[in-house]
Structure 1
């Protein structure tokens, strides 16, 4: 019995010695040195269409045991824009011992354009339609980075604004892309009284689009967006029989846009029918820097 106990003790001591030796050996031989990464420049200029290969150009990595790891470098993340068309890209690489290294540099897009909200119909509704009103109806959005981002549009009445009958109400539409760039457009929603006799006789100028973007100093031609007249929810193009002899020249255009000052402006199109009833449609003009 005593011999068995002695054998157990000896085995235990040997196990401890073996474990200690393994720990010492592991510490001596373990690779804890991360790879070294480098970029041939502090920034890179690319198109928004650039693929991963182009974004990785000029980035290299080397490890003290694994050697050249350049082919293992990956894009870890892309930041939001730091300024127009510029963002930071972060690269990462791992060696065979799972040691990581990171490096970052600036990316400048040569052809970046901010996202834009388009509007294909006038924001004009009857009172009875308000219960199921989708304020984003007729709006679409595209972005050069993300493509179609219509599902990201958020449109709603401004704070402290609520609809309590016919009139004009301020709302805001906005959309953001994956890089954090946001397009915000203030708009007006018009509620009409369908029971009003004049409303049934009113013709509204009909446009090809209801939000237009331009650059500072570049004037648009408001008349080029005029297509016809809308009457009781039906659109008629100039020349249609339903419009009789009405044409674009019968619509007056009031453009008070300051094309030298970035901001959002309104162009008014007004048509007065033979019955003396006037209808007005508004075009939102966004002047960008």
Structure 2
């Protein structure tokens, strides 16, 4: 390709400004600027930027920022860059920050590429020059591919350099070098290696016209930016930027867990291997040793102790088989395949024993047949087990069968014991739930029942309840022997039978008299009282009349159980007997309630204590209308938050609940911890 000598292209821009004033014309100053360029016809290579230097000169002083530049590609295709400025669009002016500028053109098509470069000054006067780039295909290109894209301190990664050769010539040779972006020395950053030998920066080495691989070893954390350059003997250079992230050296944890602790000889035990990668990723090799003879199957391959086993990260499974009757201690070691390897160990203990065909022994504790009453709790006495080989804690006991204590019948409970060799033995216990409890009949109404001769007797009801069958009222049978026309004492018998043939009986006494029994009338009075400490219940009383004896109120006998000091339900029973020995009773029901809250009184509501001292509560008093409390019964809230070592204001809450559920008002004490 023909080269041209440097020449100066002078462009003279003449601008005449005419100013008319009173029909007089004067000449204004003509400003002229020129553009000097090193060459206008340039040889370049495809996709490789080529620079031309443009210098702006003028006969009058110009300042930076007075000039703008634009370009237009009239033939061919490519991109234009000014200095370190990013590529900009065609026919778009950009401000020039210097009077001397380098124009970079990177041709995207081979052949003659023509560019029109236009510069204008602050008065919008323009100068345009034409640049011609003869773009040739350099005959090669390349890529640098880190595999993987990141490495770690002490480890190496491959730098795969993929060469693309388009030249048909066999006489072209290639050299390759690298440099560190932004650094004059790679020391401490990392090392580029060729077959393990370090390569100095900015040092060309002959490389083949085909794909090849170097290596990179990182020496510090963080990104390392490098520039790789390949040039041929024709002087064509191509640059590629590569950035590699250097991370910490890979690390991991390793566990080995056996799915059983005991096994028979020649029997395999599953072992889970768990490799958890904590930093980076690696490949791994595992080996093992064992205290007794055995082997490990992994991924369908049997490995003897000391063999290297390729193992994957995550959870995988192996199978160990021991052939010695003994305790096998298997020690596993896993190492990652790194320049600086990391090793982790794990140990598994397995007890191998000889085959066992003898069943364990199982015996019932207590009787083989147990009888309990319905509703009574059944406490299983259990069993005692033993085995010729296995320890008791290694035997597995299962129980089949349950007992419903509320349903009388015969139940069976089967106990089975199995040893680690799956030999089994069993025993059975019989539990009989019986119902020997009689139904309970409750007579409603008066007993004895007194009525006048010749009147019609109306029998009050009775109810029956059974511990198993529940309500049997409808099954009650009533036997009546009363002669209503004859004075005397009689009985009415109530009988009921439950499902277990238990018979319950109740008898009501019936008295036939000549006249009616006395009538007791209660005087009005409240039935509900509030509990009062030391209080006395004053009963309103009752009156009694008889159709023959008249007013017999004075003969009433009163049984008064009421205690105003103790909440609860009480009865006052009034009883009177007429001259015919007819006795009647009437009951007044009294309810004593406690609705009064306890009262907590603090001895002081606020005080100070010194930092570091021990807090002693000053106490107080508690009063209640029923309960006898001391201040020790009061619940103090907030003590757990009181820190006498930390100055500040603390709050303690005092509260108490009486036996009736009445809760006192909350009392508050303020504690100030001071220095």
Instruction: Please state which structure has a larger fraction of its residues in strand.
Output: 2
* Rg comparison, structure with higher value: 2
Higher RCO structure, 1 or 2 (CA under 8 Å, sep 6+): 1
Compute the TM-score of the two structures, normalised by the length of structure 1. Answer: 0.35
| TM-score computed with the length of structure 2 as normaliser | 0.18
